[in-house]
Amino acid sequence: MQRLPVLGVLLWVCGLFYVGLHLFVGGFLLVRLEVNRTSACQDALQPDLGARLGGPLAPPDFCRPKPRFRRAVLVVIDALKFDFARFDPANAAPRPHENKLPVFGQMVSSRPAHSRLFPFRADPPTTTMQRIKGFTTGSLPTFIDVGNNFASSAILEDNIIHQLGQIGKRMVFMGDDTWESLFPKKFHRSLPFPSFNVKDLHTVDNGILQNLYSTLVGEDWDVLVAHFLGVDHCGHRFGPDHPAMADKLTQMDGVIRSVIERLQDDTLLVVLGDHGMTDSGDHGGESLKETDAALFLYSPSPLFPGPPSEGEPAVVPQTDLVPSLSLLLGSPIPYSSLGQVLLPLFPPHGDASAGLSQREALWVNAKQVNRFLETYSVLARDIPAQRLSELRQHFSRLSAAYLAAEGSGVPSPGLEASLQAYLTSVRETCRATWARFNPLKMAAGLAVLALACLLCLVLSELSGTLVSAGGVLRLPLVAALVAGVFAVAGQLFARGHVEVAWCLAPAAVASELAFLWRARRYRARVSAAVVGNGSGSKVPRATGWTGWLVWLGPRWLLVPPLLVAFLRCASLLSDSYVIAEGRAVTFLVLSLGLYVPVRLNWDGLLLPAAHDPQKPAGLPPSLLPPSAVRKEGATLLAWLGVLVGSLYLSPSFHGCREEQGSCRPSAFLQPLARLQDSQLRNLHYVVSLASLGLWTHLLRRWLRNYGNLNSSGGAVFTARRLLPLLVVCLGLHWAVSATPEDGFRDLTELIGFARLVLPRAAFALLGLGVLLVWLDPVTVFAKTRETAPARGPSSMPPLPPRYRASTGISPQAELHHLIPQIYQRMRRSLEDGGESDGASEADGRPAVEAYGLGTVYSAPLVLFCGLLGVGLLLLHPEGMALAFLLLLLEMGALLHIHASTTTLSGLQGAHSGGFEVPWTPVVLWALASTQFFHATGHLPTFPSLQWSAAFVGFPGGHQGTVLPAAMVALNTFSSHILFAAGCPLLLFWPLVCEVRGSRGGREGTDEGGEDAVMEMRLRESPQRFSSALLQLSTRYLLLLGAQVFASVCAAAILRRHLMVWKVFAPKLMFEASGFLLSSVFLLLAVALVLRVDVAVGRWFRRLLPDADRNGEQGPTAERVGGARWMEDDGWRTTQSGQNVKEQSVMKAWRQVTSTDILGDCNFNPLISGGSSGTIIT
């Protein structure tokens, strides 16, 4: 078979998806590194010069001088758009949101030195959480701020709340409970109110109002933060043009008036909106309507030098609030702040009583920003180096100028402006790096992904032709290379530097287009072949692109499994469905599962065809008796029952999103150590252990049933020894980790040691097992049949014809002794050739039995999945063992349903006989992986990541970040991984289960006829094997890729949606990471299959050493004489004298599908060769 081309094509397809995702995510998700340093009072932000002069201007400690304001009231009105705050007396017929806040206008006109109203421009993303983070840290938070603890939402970056706390201000907070999660334990007093329910306009506001005024007149506070949510919720619910908005704004007007009345002279009032809203009341994006909020500053004592003048800023960026407030209240500016002080707030010339002068404030500000820039550029490299050096030069010039000006005492007029310019340019640089969507990149990513999906579809349809044509990848790769080189050259020519993303994008698109263009020819070949067969009348022979559309069009979209897949993709565009994803996917899986028997019944395949005398005689009669059909149908329904059962039980393992109000997370998600009731704990432990045991038992039972536990290879060793050992390790680990902290004081050290060692031992065993499976995947055990007694004495003492456990000797010992003999004997019988065929042919029975040959491909894969499952279970809470057992059962059910469907269609002559895996099982498989993502307690949100997985085996924490991240990723996507690794089983299972059908039908008939050859059919036609494998993999990739594409579309289309940062963007991240891991493990599984294929070829060659001489005749498979199948790589049968022996060997392969001869005493039926054996002749 063609191994490398298949793997190459899959790698190429995965690569295209990765490029598309990389492009989109690069344009959509902006990543910034958090700098976890804090400013302190001792920071020498002032120039040393001051100290030398010894004046009051140069305090050695930053916080000591008396600040201008002792207290501050920060009133945050969520979504207070600037338009709401403006008052236009000329407007005679104001809309509901206009002219409802006259207090600002009145104050500004009546007390110009005390108050100002500015437009306050937020940075995208304009969502409340990001905005609170923005105007408290003074930085530009992006969707992902890579910080030290990803798990909690608490702000670890330096921020004004922290700084104010450091200088001993008592802070009181009331309002939106987001603050409480962002700043846990920072407040002197805190009154959080639930913010989640968008429909609720009044709870938060009324809660604040009940406490606000009494607190204001009291003396136990220095800084008061009140966050009103009503306006925002009103916008979301009704939009700005609604009477409710007018009421809400009028209420806010009253609130501000009352607050102003109660202010004392040393108090500063800041009223601000965190963001604006669109005309429909939403926010999140970057339009001016969303970013422009209002900022109102007021103090009973004069705040500004005079009435508004020309030089004042027209718009205040949101970051500028933090440095201004810090300096006014006498605290250091937070470390990562990028804002510049609001100059009008500072006196133009130094004056000891009025605090810092404008120039001093700017200088302090510039030094702080420069320090941050230096630190950040060391930590992260995303700011262009060229830009960075320009900024550095700018700062050193400024620094020299400032020191000169201070030293000489001569004011230099341009210094303030130049400091401001420096601050602005730093801010703009950072903004360009962190806070801007890149629509071009997003579009390019979308295009690459869409084309990749289309390409997967074409590949899966044309896989047969492609495999036989060969050289499929040449043109696309050349095109990619050419386009990439052109892109590099163009960028170098036009811009002077190269951005990798913009080289990958044209390369990917070019290679996709080249393939699609090339595929037209393949399609022509397919349709020609179909027409040639005479059955292609339905296929339209249109050519060109319209032909493509016809070919891919309605024929496709109307198939129910694809309809279900489409529904699944469409559901990713709705936030409600993403929130309810776990149940929605379960619903779809159940629907498609129930569709299978209904469809079979519709085609008349589920039940044996009724005896119908009027049936036209031309129809082929049913290939099998009704009893076999009935039995197969019953099997199908039984497995359907298993599927339905596991579907019904799986939601009980779901976790809960915060959006799901009345949901309670599954009790199994709690680690055992946290259960208080010791009886319950024991019960949970026993249940988990039992499911783990059952998992292992089922695996081993399956392997033994198909005779895969008999040989002495690496894979068998893994299954027989390592797997149980692994399970024991896991069970002990659970027991140890479930012990309460202070349960066994004497054994603390031992327990600590066990916590460290047991999981690590399990990891080591797992690694060893996977390695062994990879190195020696063949689980076939070959042995000669007991031949005619006439030959026995001549060669060696005859073996006992039947082995009975009742001989008195230990059966195990005797078997161990027996096996080498059998093997020797088999070798000998092969070596002396001719005579043995005479015997075996006379006998009519085969001469060699190969245990487990029928499942030679699936056994290592099943073992691999089983090992992987146990390993992934290790990273989960103990209770999830039950969920993993359900996963295994559901996998089995899906495989058996697929196998039974194939058998039923095959039995009644409705199946083409190819290895093609239809859409229904593949769609079910892909949906089940999402279903169990939820049913193993995961959710597509960041707070729900199971961080404890990173500490399994590393109770003391980690040094680096790669290993814990990998462990958490493995934990999160374990279901994706397992289903992807098991995906090729869909191809093998109908062949594995084929035996049953044939055996049922052929009892009593001659054994030499058509026999079950199980997976050897694949070796019989390697071409079709390759194409089926390629088709299955591309279909699976297509389904996964379509889901990724849908969530990418959701993120792109709904980037203004209220829920974009809460639902869609995390969903996109999870979907993309799931795709990444799925595709990697799918590739691994395919590689394992190909590895097995190589190993099987080698195994055949080893059994027939002298056959190598004929090997040079070419590796093609051929049917000659009586041999039903042969090897493609190594030897083939010819009519020469030599091959008589080979033919006999070939005739003699016997597939035995029974019992573990080493472990069990079930030796009898094997040697007697009863019904459990099937012959390949």
Partner 1 sequence: MWDREIKAMASAHAIVASGVFSATVLPSMLVRGFSVYGTHLLWLYSVAGAVAVVNVAVFWLLGISQPTKRHTLSHKLSRLVRSCLYLLLSCLFYHTVVVLYGAPLIESALETFSLAVLLTSLTTLRCLCVLGPNVQAWIRVFSRHGAMTVWDTSLQITVACTVVGAWLGAFPIPLDWDRPWQVWPVSCSLGSLIGFLTGLVAAPMWIHYHRKQLTYKCK
The minimum distance between CB 198 and partner 1, in angstroms, equals: 9
- Phi-psi sector, 438: left (phi>0), alpha (psi -120 to 50), beta: beta
| β-bridge mates for residue 294, sequence order | 119
Helices (H), 409-473: 415-434, 439-469
Q: Is residue 575 a contact residue for partner 1 (CB under 8 A)?
A: yes
Return the closest-CA partner of residue 248 out of 271, 228, 262, 226: 228
By C-beta, is 152 or 601 nearer to partner 1?
Answer: 601
By C-beta, is 822 or 893 nearer to partner 1?
Answer: 893
The minimum distance between CB 975 and partner 1, in angstroms, equals: 19
The minimum distance between CB 153 and partner 1, in angstroms, equals: 23
Q: Residue 182 belongs to what H/E stretch?
A: helix 178-182
- Interface pattern 641-670 for partner 1 (x via CB under 8 A): ---x--xx--x-------------------
How far is residue 977's CA from residue 1044's CA, in Å, rounded to a whole number?
16
Asked if the bond preceding 125 is cis, omega within 30° of 0, the reply is yes
User: Given candidates 199, 611, 664, 745, which one binds partner 1 under the rule CB under 8 A?
Assistant: 199
How far is residue 999's CA from residue 1174's CA, in Å, rounded to a whole number?
8
The gap from C-alpha 445 to its chain's centroid, in whole angstroms, comes to: 18
How far is residue 1116's CA from residue 116's CA, in Å, rounded to a whole number?
87
Q: Residue 635 belongs to what H/E stretch?
A: helix 626-649
Work out the angle at residue 670's Cα, subtended by the Cα atoms of residues 761 and 738, and round it to the nearest 5 degrees. 45
The minimum distance between CB 233 and partner 1, in angstroms, equals: 14
Helices (H) and strands (E) in the chain, counts: 42, 14
Task: Report the sign of the C-alpha dihedral through residues 347, 350, 356, 358, in that order.
Answer: positive
The minimum distance between CB 930 and partner 1, in angstroms, equals: 15
By C-beta, is 403 or 644 nearer to partner 1?
Answer: 644
The minimum distance between CB 587 and partner 1, in angstroms, equals: 6
The minimum distance between CB 207 and partner 1, in angstroms, equals: 23
- Interface of this chain with partner 1, residues 580 to 599, rule: CB under 8 A: 580, 583-584, 586-587, 590-591, 594, 598
> Are 448 and 505 a contacting pair, CB within 8 Å?
yes
By C-beta, is 25 or 585 nearer to partner 1?
Answer: 585
By C-beta, is 796 or 1053 nearer to partner 1?
Answer: 1053
User: Given candidates 210, 576, 682, 961, which one binds partner 1 under the rule CB under 8 A?
Assistant: 576
User: Given candidates 610, 617, 790, 962, which one binds partner 1 under the rule CB under 8 A?
Assistant: 610
By C-beta, is 579 or 773 nearer to partner 1?
Answer: 579
The minimum distance between CB 780 and partner 1, in angstroms, equals: 42
Number of residues that bind partner 1 (CB under 8 A): 26
| β-bridge mates for residue 298, sequence order | 115, 269
Tell me which stretch binds partner 1 (CB under 8 A): 69-77, 342-350, 578-586, 1046-1054: 578-586
By C-beta, is 458 or 928 nearer to partner 1?
Answer: 928
The minimum distance between CB 585 and partner 1, in angstroms, equals: 11
> Are 1092 and 857 a contacting pair, CB within 8 Å?
yes
How far is residue 85's CA from residue 318's CA, in Å, rounded to a whole number?
16
Tokens at 85, concatenated: 């705050």
DSSP states of 212-267: HHHHHHSSS-SEEEEEE-HHHHHHHHH-SSSHHHHHHHHHHHHHHHHHHHT--TTE
How far is residue 280's CA from residue 1105's CA, in Å, rounded to a whole number?
79
Q: Is residue 603 a contact residue for partner 1 (CB under 8 A)?
A: yes
By C-beta, is 280 or 1116 nearer to partner 1?
Answer: 280
DSSP states of 1155-1174: --TTTSSTTHHHHTT-TTEE
Contacts of 707 (CB under 8 A, 6+ apart): 781, 851, 852, 854, 855, 1152, 1153, 1154, 1155, 1156
By C-beta, is 91 or 601 nearer to partner 1?
Answer: 601
Tell me which stretch binds partner 1 (CB under 8 A): 319-327, 504-512, 574-582, 693-701: 574-582
User: Given candidates 196, 517, 545, 602, which one binds partner 1 under the rule CB under 8 A?
Assistant: 602
- The 3-state secondary structure of 696-743 reads HHHHHHHHHHCCCCCCCCHHHHHHHHHHHHHHHHHHHHHHHHHCCCCC
The minimum distance between CB 1162 and partner 1, in angstroms, equals: 38
The minimum distance between CB 521 and partner 1, in angstroms, equals: 37
Q: Is residue 574 a contact residue for partner 1 (CB under 8 A)?
A: yes
Work out the angle at residue 521's Cα, subtended by the Cα atoms of residues 517 and 525, and round it to the nearest 5 degrees. 155
By C-beta, is 908 or 1026 nearer to partner 1?
Answer: 908
3-28 and 1022-1053 are packed helices; what angle lies between their axes, rounded to 10 degrees? Answer: 0
Q: Is residue 619 a contact residue for partner 1 (CB under 8 A)?
A: no
The minimum distance between CB 605 and partner 1, in angstroms, equals: 9
By C-beta, is 647 or 874 nearer to partner 1?
Answer: 647
By C-beta, is 614 or 794 nearer to partner 1?
Answer: 614
The minimum distance between CB 590 and partner 1, in angstroms, equals: 6
By C-beta, is 175 or 281 nearer to partner 1?
Answer: 281
- Dihedral of the alpha carbons of 1013, 1017, 1019, 1020, in degrees to the nearest 10: 110
| Overall size of the chain counted in residues | 1177
| β-bridge mates for residue 226, sequence order | 75, 174
User: Given candidates 601, 627, 682, 961, which one binds partner 1 under the rule CB under 8 A?
Assistant: 601
The minimum distance between CB 622 and partner 1, in angstroms, equals: 14
The minimum distance between CB 923 and partner 1, in angstroms, equals: 17
Q: Is residue 614 a contact residue for partner 1 (CB under 8 A)?
A: yes
- Interface pattern 434-473 for partner 1 (x via CB under 8 A): ----------------------------------------
Q: Is residue 244 a contact residue for partner 1 (CB under 8 A)?
A: no
By C-beta, is 92 or 610 nearer to partner 1?
Answer: 610
How far is residue 983's CA from residue 975's CA, in Å, rounded to a whole number?
12
Please compute, for residue 351, the number of CA atoms within 13 A of its CA located in the half-sphere on the CB side: 9
User: Given candidates 607, 663, 680, 965, which one binds partner 1 under the rule CB under 8 A?
Assistant: 607
- Interface pattern 2-21 for partner 1 (x via CB under 8 A): --------------------
By C-beta, is 40 or 644 nearer to partner 1?
Answer: 644
- Interface pattern 505-544 for partner 1 (x via CB under 8 A): ----------------------------------------
- Interface of this chain with partner 1, residues 351 to 390, rule: CB under 8 A: none
The minimum distance between CB 606 and partner 1, in angstroms, equals: 8
Long-range contacts of 468-472, Cβ-Cβ distance < 8 Å, separation of 24 or more: 468/1023, 468/1027, 469/522, 469/525, 470/2, 470/5, 472/5, 472/9, 472/515, 472/518
Rg of the chain (C-alpha set) = 37
Most distant CA atoms of the chain, gap in Å: 123
Q: Is residue 560 a contact residue for partner 1 (CB under 8 A)?
A: no
Contacts of 175 (CB under 8 A, 6+ apart): 76, 191, 192, 193, 204, 207, 208, 225, 226, 227, 228, 229
The minimum distance between CB 570 and partner 1, in angstroms, equals: 10
By C-beta, is 40 or 649 nearer to partner 1?
Answer: 649
DSSP states of 919-981: HHHHHHHHHHHHHHHHHTT--SSGGG--GGGGGTT-TT--SSSHHHHHHHHHHHTHHHHHHHH
- Interface of this chain with partner 1, residues 1091 to 1150, rule: CB under 8 A: none
By C-beta, is 281 or 332 nearer to partner 1?
Answer: 281
By C-beta, is 505 or 564 nearer to partner 1?
Answer: 564
The minimum distance between CB 654 and partner 1, in angstroms, equals: 11
Task: Give the binding site for partner 1 (CB under 8 A).
Answer: 199, 574-577, 579-580, 583-584, 586-587, 590-591, 594, 598, 601-604, 607, 610, 614, 644, 647-648, 651
